[in-house]
Amino acid sequence: MSRLIDVLTPTGLRTGETLSRAEIHRLGKYHRAIHLYLFNSKNELLLQRRALTVDNFPGALSISVLGHVDAGEHSSATVRREIQEELGIDTSPLTIEFLFSYFSEATLSATYIDRQFNDVYLARTDLDLSHIHIDPSEVSDVTFVSFERFKQILADPHSELAPVYANECRDLVYFLDHWPTA
């Protein structure tokens, strides 16, 4: 059974309507997603490489964890669910901090219009990559990169980072450079 997603108003409030992920994007409806940046104690960021079978930016580098908020679900619950689904790790010991929300809009194809409110989170934990169990339908690989290397990737207009995350990543870098205790 396909999960349903709350359709939102242009200001981010629930309308009472729910649709599948495919329909939300086909119709260009407003909805909510989560983005998590997972750092280790060496200030390295976990990046994922998207599976070649996903419907947008296959094979591109992406942020640590991302996903759509299910109908009736709070984004903080979505973060924990998506960490478990995408990385296969226990979230109970993680302290997950909410950083900011923002709206993004992108037309990726005639049948994929993304009008999304993104709730951005950060967590810090030391993970052995061999303990991560990725969902191969969504993720082909994960790797840690230093925060400095991440800034270089972001500054390179030809990098493998999916371009839809560029503005958010720049805001994250600004946030962490100015408030490094977050």
pLDDT at position 180, please? 62
pLDDT at position 48, please? 94
Instruction: Please report which helix (H) or strand (E) contains residue 122, including its range.
Output: strand 112-124
pLDDT at position 27, please? 97
Amino acid, single-letter form, for residue 124: R
Bridge partners of 31? 116
Residue 13 CB contacts under 8 Å (≥ 6 apart), including other chains: none
pLDDT at position 19, please? 98
Closest CA to 73 of 108, 35, 32, 106: 32
- Pull the structure tokens for residue 11: 């200001």
pTM over 0.75: yes
pLDDT tens figures, 94-147: 999 999 999 999 999 999 999 999 999 999 999 889 889 998 888 999 999 999
Task: Give me the residues of the chain with pLDDT under 50, please.
Answer: 182
Task: Let me know if 59 is exposed, middle or buried by CB neighbors in 10 A (0-12, 13-18, 19+).
Answer: middle
The C-alpha atoms of residue 44 and residue 149 are separated, in whole angstroms, by 9
In order of their start, the domains of the chain are 32-95+119-178 (3.90.79.10)
